[in-house]
């Protein structure tokens, strides 16, 4: 293999975004090859190309170029990076070819059919390119020497089911991507649907409108549509112009794009289904010219919204009046439930929430119950909803718990964070203040309220709270720094008298943008300060800009040298992204129950979720090494993940706690059984039996059954029968123990 030279004796090379591609020549066959040299390395690259090679062997995807990934490709100044060797494709870049063929409808029709074929075959192969744009498509010949076909290039970001938990390595051209993908960072089997819909629609529009239209309307990089058009379809001139055409099929496609922009990406149908449905509707006359008349369309949106809000307000008022009447007549349960229903329908209705709390306290004669705090299941639900950013659900679960103890300050604190997440500032403030009134020296409540007030630019109140935190905990360096910084912010605010007026009168989007810019400026001034990154991340999460939030946190982790709060925050964010991907797969299955790759991808994502959970637990254990419950939970999770040696370490420490010892011993028995050490497995299981509470019959049967199987596997059938009889005495139907006893008895007699 040697590099090819042009007529001037120079290397033939193409510059990519993150690599350089050289034309090479095989000396023996004289065949041209492409050598892609990366300037960087990522372990997922090799995995993706391995899976791609396997998929290509078993599927007809001739639009994918055969390639060979070489991990140890180049070494420059001691740094080793991979290379990719593939066939050299002779052809024309997609965008350039479209401009050449814009006046030939027959060719445009063929290209549109090829786009359809690519989507169909990739979906059937369980594959998504995830970086579809004209720079990654050529018109040329494939490996089967089929001429005039579309060839996809650049497979660094491909999605395959067994790597569903991995992230995209490169952001695609925004002129071809759903704005939701750029904000949310969605990466999965549906990532190509929207860009392929854009390609198909662009080809149809060029066929209808002609080459002159393309030359006039094509943006610098896109075909017809730009990032601005996709983010603002109602104000887009190209959308309006194409919707005004007489061709019903073209108009149907434009309406499909607008519908896709208004819905979550997971709800975008396949291009094949879209084309089929649009064709049928166009034949019925559904997209006829008479339907489009922009000037005559009535502007009913605001009226409908107003009537809806009035209807909701009336309903809430009626329900609240009924609730008050029920409580007046002593029917507290019915009244409280009605108030809870009001809060669920209108989470920001502070008046209803205050009346609900009064009713909850009055029901208990205004005396806090002896059992303080939420129940374990309710508490985990509230925290779970909060972690997954489902703030309304967190508020609902919190109110259910407060019905039993309306003085639970911990619940109010979590609910305050949820209300803040929804943007209900008055409700959040009231919940935080209520929690603080009950627990005035609770450091978590003080910190959450201080951070909330700082976001509301009430710097004076926030400073006072941070100073109180510092008095309660003099070693808290964060409290010391924040109090000092807020003192400066308070002074600056007093110097700008009209600032409050400007902020209060500005649109919500403007104030959010100003707040984002303020935090970014603070990060530039003090890049190692972790709380700024968390504050900016929370702002981005509210706007559903998850990918940006993750990127900010990774920068913060580097700058702060691994701050644990940032590590926890990114672990929570990654779990949220994984949950979104699982939801996307569930939606695919609801539409196509026969798609065989969903289960593989879902198992992959759930395994990764457990891995992230274990990482969170490790951080918790590091922060509180004496917490044996966390060590036990971590050990059990590591067993599920197959990390047996690490699990044994955590479980052996947690078994020292008498309250947890039997659970730890059961898990240790499983660990040693997996490692093939039957002696240690039985020893731990027998110790578990000794410390097992009398009420735990299900675990008793499980332990005895494991012991019986262990002895039977070593041909000690007499011992297996002895233990099996104990199980049969408790539950004769358990795991078919009756039949096993017969078998072991027979084997025992044969061995005598």
Q: Please count the other Cβ atoms lying within 10 Å of the Cβ belonging to residue 329.
A: 9
Taking 60 as the threshold, does the pLDDT of residue 48 lie above it?
A: yes
In the 8-state DSSP scheme, what is residue 223?
S
Q: Which of 608, 636, 499, 604 is nearest to 160 (CA)?
A: 604
Taking residues 302-320, report their average pLDDT: 56
pLDDT of residue 502: 36
Q: pLDDT digit string (tens) for 365-388?
A: 888 876 544 444 456 677 777 776
Taking residues 563-582, report their average pLDDT: 83
Q: pLDDT digit string (tens) for 400-456?
A: 888 888 888 888 998 998 888 888 888 999 999 998 988 888 888 999 998 888 878
260-264, 447-451, 613-617: which is most confident: 447-451
Q: Average the pLDDT over each of 411-420, 620-629, 687-696 and give the range with the smallest value.
A: 620-629
Q: Which of 172, 177, 181, 117 is nearest to 149 (CA)?
A: 117
Taking 80 as the threshold, does the pLDDT of residue 353 lie above it?
A: yes
Q: Are 278 and 249 in contact (CB under 8 A)?
A: yes
Q: What sign does the dihedral 375-376-378-382 (CA atoms) show?
A: positive
Tell me the sheet residues that pair with 32: 25
Q: Which of 3, 86, 69, 83 is nearest to 38 (CA)?
A: 83
Residue with tokens 């360096």: 477
Q: pLDDT digit string (tens) for 146-189?
A: 566 889 988 999 999 999 988 887 777 888 888 877 666 667 88
Considering only residues 503 and 1, tell me which one the structure prediction assigns the higher pLDDT: 1
3-state DSSP assignment of residue 68: strand
Q: Average the pLDDT over each of 142-146, 165-169, 633-637 and give the range with the smallest value.
A: 142-146
Q: Are 411 and 401 in contact (CB under 8 A)?
A: yes
Taking 70 as the threshold, does the pLDDT of residue 192 lie above it?
A: yes
Q: Could you tell me the two tokens for 443?
A: 């450091």
Q: Could you tell me the two tokens for 366?
A: 């205004």
Q: Which of 569, 502, 577 is nearest to 539 (CA)?
A: 569
pLDDT of residue 2: 85
Q: State the Cα angle at 501 between 500 and 507, rounded to 5°.
A: 100
pLDDT of residue 292: 34
Domains of the chain: 2-87 (3.30.200), 92-294 (1.10.510.10), 313-365+378-414 (1.25.40)
Q: What is the dihedral of CA 13, 18, 19, 20, to 10 degrees?
A: 10
pLDDT of residue 484: 76
Whole-angstrom distance, CA of residue 383 vs CA of residue 388: 9
For the chain, state the CA radius of gyration: 32
Considering only residues 145 and 728, tell me which one the structure prediction assigns the higher pLDDT: 728
Question: Angle formed by the axes of helices 425-438 and 443-455, to 10°?
Answer: 150
Length of the chain: 752
Q: pLDDT digit string (tens) for 457-505?
A: 787 888 888 888 888 888 888 788 777 777 655 555 554 444 343 333 3
Q: Are 306 and 276 in contact (CB under 8 A)?
A: no
Residue 300 — pLDDT band, cuts 50, 70, 90? Answer: very low
Q: CA of 483: how far to CAs of 94, 450, 466, 565, in Å?
A: 58, 10, 5, 19
Q: Are 41 and 81 in contact (CB under 8 A)?
A: yes
Taking residues 524-551, report their average pLDDT: 86
Terminal-residue alpha carbon distance, the chain: 73
Q: What is the dihedral of CA 240, 242, 244, 250, to 10 degrees?
A: -140
Residue with tokens 């039996």: 689
pLDDT of residue 112: 93
Burial of 516 (C-beta count, 10 Å sphere; 0-12/13-18/19+) = middle
Q: Could you tell me the two tokens for 352?
A: 């209803």
| Mean predicted lDDT score pLDDT of the chain | 83
Q: Are 670 and 649 in contact (CB under 8 A)?
A: no
Whole-angstrom distance, CA of residue 219 vs CA of residue 653: 64
Tell me the sheet residues that pair with 138: 93, 151
Taking residues 220-234, report their average pLDDT: 84
Q: Which of 8, 9, 7, 4 is nearest to 21 (CA)?
A: 4
pLDDT of residue 741: 92
Whole-angstrom distance, CA of residue 685 vs CA of residue 666: 6
DSSP H helix total and E strand total for the chain: 33, 9
Whole-angstrom distance, CA of residue 107 vs CA of residue 690: 80
pLDDT of residue 286: 65
pLDDT of residue 158: 92
Whole-angstrom distance, CA of residue 200 vs CA of residue 178: 15
pLDDT of residue 266: 75
Q: State the Cα angle at 646 between 663 and 677, rounded to 5°.
A: 70
pLDDT of residue 689: 92
Q: CA of 509: how far to CAs of 34, 180, 457, 459, 725, in Å?
A: 48, 17, 17, 22, 71
Taking 50 as the threshold, does the pLDDT of residue 203 lie above it?
A: yes
Q: CA of 176: how far to CAs of 44, 182, 202, 226, 318, in Å?
A: 25, 11, 11, 7, 49
């Amino acid at each position: 293999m040697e590099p090819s030279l042009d007529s001037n004796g120079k290397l033939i090379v193409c510059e990519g975004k993150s690599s350089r591609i050289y034309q090479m020549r095989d000396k023996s066959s004289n065949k041209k090859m492409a050598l892609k040299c990366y300037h960087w390395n990522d372990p997922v690259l090799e995995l993706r190309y391995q899976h791609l090679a396997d998929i290509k062997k078993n599927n007809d995807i001739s639009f994918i170029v055969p390639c060979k990934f070489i991990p140890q490709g180049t070494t420059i100044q001691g740094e080793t990076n991979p290379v990719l060797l593939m066939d050299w494709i002779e052809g024309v870049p997609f965008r350039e070819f479209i401009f050449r063929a814009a006046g030939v409808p027959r060719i445009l029709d063929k290209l549109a059919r090829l786009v359809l074929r690519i989507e169909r075959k990739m979906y059937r192969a369980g594959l998504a390119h995830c970086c579809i744009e004209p720079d990654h498509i050529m018109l040329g010949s494939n490996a089967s020497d089929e001429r005039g076909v579309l060839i996809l290039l650049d497979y660094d970001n491909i999605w395959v089911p067994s790597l569903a938990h991995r992230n995209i390595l490169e952001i695609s051209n925004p002129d071809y991507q759903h704005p939701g993908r750029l904000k949310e960072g969605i990466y999965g089997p549906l990532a190509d649907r929207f860009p392929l819909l854009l390609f198909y629609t662009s080809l149809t529009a060029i066929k209808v409108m002609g080459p002159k239209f393309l030359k006039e309307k094509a943006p610098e990089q896109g075909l017809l549509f730009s990032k601005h058009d996709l983010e603002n379809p109602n104000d887009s001139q190209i959308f309006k112009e194409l919707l005004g055409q007489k061709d019903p099929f073209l108009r149907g496609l434009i309406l499909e794009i607008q519908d896709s922009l208004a819905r979550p990406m997971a709800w975008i149908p396949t291009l094949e289904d879209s084309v089929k449905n649009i064709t049928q509707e166009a034949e019925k006359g559904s997209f006829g010219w008479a339907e489009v008349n922009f000037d005559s369309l009535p502007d009913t949106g605001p009226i409908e919204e107003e009537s809806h809000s009035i209807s909701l307000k009336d309903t809430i008022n009626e329900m609240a009046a009924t609730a008050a009447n029920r409580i007046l007549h002593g029917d507290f349960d019915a009244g409280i439930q009605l108030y809870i229903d009001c809060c669920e329908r209108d989470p920001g209705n502070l008046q209803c929430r205050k009346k609900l709390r009064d009713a909850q306290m009055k029901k208990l004669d205004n005396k806090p119950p002896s059992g303080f705090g939420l129940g374990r299941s309710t508490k985990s639900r509230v925290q779970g909803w909060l972690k997954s950013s489902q703030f309304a659900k967190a508020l609902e679960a919190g109110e259910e718990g407060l019905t039993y103890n309306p003085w639970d300050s911990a619940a109010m604190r979590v609910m305050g964070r949820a209300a803040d997440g929804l943007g209900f500032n008055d409700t959040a403030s009231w919940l935080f203040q209520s929690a603080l009134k009950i627990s005035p020296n609770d450091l978590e409540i003080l910190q959450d309220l201080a951070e909330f007030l700082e976001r509301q630019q009430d710097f004076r109140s926030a400073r006072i709270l941070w100073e109180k935190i510092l008095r309660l905990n003099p070693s808290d360096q964060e409290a010391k720094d924040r109090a000092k910084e807020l003192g400066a912010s308070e002074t600056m605010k007093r110097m700008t008298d009209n600032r409050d007026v400007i902020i209060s009168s500005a649109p919500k989007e403007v104030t959010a943008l100003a707040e984002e810019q303020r935090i970014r400026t603070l990060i530039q001034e003090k890049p190692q300060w972790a709380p700024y990154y968390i504050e900016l991340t929370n702002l981005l999460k509210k706007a559903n800009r998850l990918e940006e939030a993750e990127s900010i946190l990774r920068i913060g982790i580097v700058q702060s040298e691994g701050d644990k709060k940032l590590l926890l925050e990114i672990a929570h964010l990654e779990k949220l992204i994984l949950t979104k991907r699982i939801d996307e797969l569930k939606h695919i299955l609801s539409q196509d129950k026969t798609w065989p790759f969903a289960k593989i991808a879902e198992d992959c994502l759930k395994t990764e979720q457990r891995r992230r959970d274990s990482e969170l637990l490790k951080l918790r254990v590091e922060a509180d090494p004496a917490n044996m419950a966390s060590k036990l939970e971590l050990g059990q999770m590591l067993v599920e993940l197959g990390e047996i040696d690490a699990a044994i370490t955590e479980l052996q420490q947690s078994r020292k706690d008498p309250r947890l010892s039997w659970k730890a011993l059961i898990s240790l028995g499983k660990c040693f059984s997996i490692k093939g050490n039957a002696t240690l497995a039985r020893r731990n299981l027998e110790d578990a039996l000794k410390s097992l509470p009398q009420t735990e019959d299900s675990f008793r049967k499980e332990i005895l059954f494991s012991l019986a199987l262990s002895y039977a596997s070593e041909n000690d059938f007499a011992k297996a029968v002895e233990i099996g009889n104990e199980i049969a005495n408790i539950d004769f139907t358990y795991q078919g123990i009756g039949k096993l006893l017969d078998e072991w008895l027979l084997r025992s007699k044969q061995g005598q």
